[in-house]
């Protein structure tokens, strides 16, 4: 029997209307959906697609402890891989929902690396959070000859500063408990003057602050955007 | 009379199914569309949306000489600004089509900076080319603590190398006539081993090459992707 296909579906940053036609088509063709979820409560990826789910699905929530700091928890991924494999081997397609874009950081990677060699995987790109946050802010992300760098705030402060010093436009992800360090690095590399914190962009809970007024710890779905010229259009 | 609204609509990387629901909704609500176009012939942005255009539009092609090197040509933008302003002042909405994402490089910026202070502008983010190319390649763009840098190949070779040396994941845009320099910089910063050239990702003309087999000059819609570990999943 032919194996099923695994779809890695980028579902965009939050607004269900920022899903692509292709993502919606795939969700209407599969019967099994897997998605990242917190240890308890609702999955953001699942919430984004909920208005576009047109039937009863078998759902595979992949629940992660909140204090996992975005590092892989092998056992959880192994178990999800096992469940997904069982369907694929029966010839049943499975879609994994990915917040934002499928291949831009995020947890899909840990399943992809376990499944891509054995099964056909189709990756559907999605609207990614830096682009959604720039739009929410009304500030272009980068222009002309800008060097644009995306940095996880989990890096050491010196690493952040070294890299920020060579950037025109900076996006900081995985802010969380590292927000003070991220702000300090922005200050030391001359990027703090017009830097913004954007939380849950494009959702009804979207909030935007000057970085010096941002909450600490930062929200799970938040990023910081800064530009050396104050704005890419200058 | 109330002014019209200007929409900056990211139409995605090429596959019309990678347009968002929101982009399609806006195209069905406006009567005027403006878009970048080459000096002669078809506009790529216009081609992407063509299957989703449901009526007769007044079209404003913004034609750029091919040898403009992505630098602003003030007169052309001034003239387009004048045309768009005329509609907005009559209370008529206008959508500007943007290849990929609206705020990720690209020509929309030059109209945005001329129009955003006078008119209401709504920016719709789109699926951006780095994400589309990573999906086409089957290689995650970045993961975990990766520093991801996006560099225009128009920068001097030394600037490219200096920045690549501090990156885990590299995306090179505006490759064009600068492809040899970009490849040399990748080699000198230890990133050339598993670097790929992706052209017109997600379209029927998509082509992928190892960078050493890439065409020179590169196609207008092409980027290079490289990762220090060979792949983000390692």
- pLDDT, tens digit (0-9, with 9 covering 90-100), for B116-164: 999 999 999 999 999 999 999 999 999 999 999 999 999 999 999 999 9
pLDDT, residue B119, reads: 98
CA torsion angle for A223, A228, A233, B2 (degrees, to 10)?
50
Q: What is the pLDDT of residue A231?
A: 86
Beta-carbon separation of A20 and B17 below 8 A: yes
Per-chain mean pLDDT for chain A: 95
Residues of B in contact with A233 (CB under 8 A): 109, 112-113
* Residue positions counted in chain B: 234
pLDDT at residue A72 above 90?
A: no
Contact flag B102-A135 (C-beta cutoff 8 Å): yes
The whole-number average pLDDT for the span B24-30 is: 97
| Contact across the interface for A144 and B152, Cβ inside 8 Å | yes
A21 CB-near residues (< 8 Å, 6+ apart): B16, B17, B18, B19, B20, B21, B24
Backbone angles phi, psi at B226, to 5 degrees: -140, 155
Q: Which residues of chain B does A127 touch, with a Cβ-Cβ cutoff of 8 Å?
A: 10, 20, 101, 125-128
Within 8 A of A102 by CB-CB distance, chain B residues are: 131, 135
Mean pLDDT in residue range B197-202 = 97
CA nearest to A105, candidates B232, B143, B19, B13? B143
Tell me the residue ranges of DSSP E strands in B39-147: 58-64, 94-98, 121-124
Residues 23-42 of B with CB under 8 A from A: 24-25
Ordered structural domains, chain A, with CATH: 6-124 (3.40.1010.10), 129-227 (3.30.950.10)
Q: How confident is the model at residue A68 (pLDDT cuts 50, 70, 90)?
A: low
Structure tokens at A78: 């192994």
Among A218-222, B75-79, B90-94, which range has the highest average pLDDT? B90-94
Min Cα–Cα distance to chain A from B61, Å: 21
Shortest distance, CA B176 to any CA of chain A (angstroms):
14
* pLDDT band at B64; cut points 50, 70, 90: confident
Q: What is the pLDDT of residue B209?
A: 98
Tens digits of per-residue pLDDT, A152-186? 999 999 999 999 999 999 999 999 999 999 999 99
Query: Under an 8 A CB cutoff, do A22 and B22 touch?
Result: no
What mean pLDDT comes out for the span B40-51? 95
Q: How far is CA B229 from the centre of its chain?
A: 26
The pTM is what?
0.95
Chain B residues with CB-CB distance to A145 below 8 A: 152, 154-155
């Amino acid at each position: 029997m032919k194996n099923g296909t695994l779809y890695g579906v980028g579902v965009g940053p939050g607004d269900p209307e920022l899903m692509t036609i292709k993502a919606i088509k795939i969700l209407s063709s599969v019967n099994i959906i897997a998605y990242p979820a917190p240890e308890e409560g609702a999955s953001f990826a699942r919430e984004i697609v909920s208005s576009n789910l047109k039937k009863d699905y078998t759902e595979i929530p992949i629940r992660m402890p909140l204090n996992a700091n975005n590092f892989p928890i092998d056992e959880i991924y192994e178990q999800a891989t096992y469940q997904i494999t069982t369907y694929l081997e029966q010839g049943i397609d499975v879609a994994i929902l990915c917040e934002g874009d499928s291949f831009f950081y995020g947890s899909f990677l840990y399943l992809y690396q376990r499944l891509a060699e054995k099964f056909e995987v189709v990756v559907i790109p999605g609207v990614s959070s830096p682009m959604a946050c720039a739009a929410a802010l009304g500030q272009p992300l980068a222009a002309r000859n800008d060097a644009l760098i995306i940095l996880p705030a989990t890096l050491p402060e010196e690493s952040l500063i070294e890299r920020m010093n060579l950037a025109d436009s900076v996006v900081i992800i995985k802010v969380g408990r590292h927000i003070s360090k991220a702000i300090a690095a922005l200050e030391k590399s001359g990027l703090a003057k017009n830097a913004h914190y954007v939380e849950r962009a494009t959702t009804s809970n979207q909030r935007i602050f000057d970085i010096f007024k941002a909450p600490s710890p930062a929200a799970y779905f938040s990023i910081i955007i800064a530009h050396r010229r104050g704005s890419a259009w200058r």
